[in-house]
């Protein structure tokens, strides 16, 4: 299975899980799924696929997968952050990466 197929498979599972725990106030409930570390393990090759999902719609907290893959800590405090502002910063980072390639 190639990276795109594996990403799609894992992303669907994680999105379904996140939707099922949406009412929980605890971030750990969203991150506590076997697909999450597997998505992180896909590494840098998964980043374009993450941004396709992240830019298009609301869904799983991709910002945490991105933090772990890139080593950047755009989410400074996971218990008190603005998902809108973090998403905006990640998208700006991604756009900058596209112009430097």
pLDDT in tens, 41-90: 999 999 999 999 988 777 899 999 999 999 999 988 888 888 889 999 99
Closest CA to 66 of 79, 49, 80, 81: 49
**What pTM value is reported for the model?**
0.90
pLDDT, mean of residues 4-32: 93
What CA–CA distance (Å, rounded) separates 93 from 38? 23
- 12-29 burial, b for 16+ CB within 10 Å, e for fewer? ebbbebbeeeeeeeeeee
Domain that holds residue 7: 3-100
Number of domains comprising the chain: 1
Locus of tokens 């800590």 = 73
CB 72 within 8 A of CB 63: no
End-to-end CA distance of the chain: 27
């Amino acid at each position: 299975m190639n990276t795109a197929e594996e990403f799609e498979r894992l992303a669907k599972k994680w999105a379904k899980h996140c939707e099922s725990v949406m009412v929980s106030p605890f971030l750990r409930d969203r991150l506590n799924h076997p697909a999450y570390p597997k998505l992180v393990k896909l590494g840098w090759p998964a980043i374009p696929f993450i941004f396709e999902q992240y830019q298009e719609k609301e869904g799983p907290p991709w910002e945490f997968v991105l933090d772990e893959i890139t080593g950047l800590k755009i989410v400074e405090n996971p218990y008190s952050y603005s998902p809108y502002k973090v998403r905006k910063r990640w998208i700006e980072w991604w756009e900058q990466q596209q112009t430097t390639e």
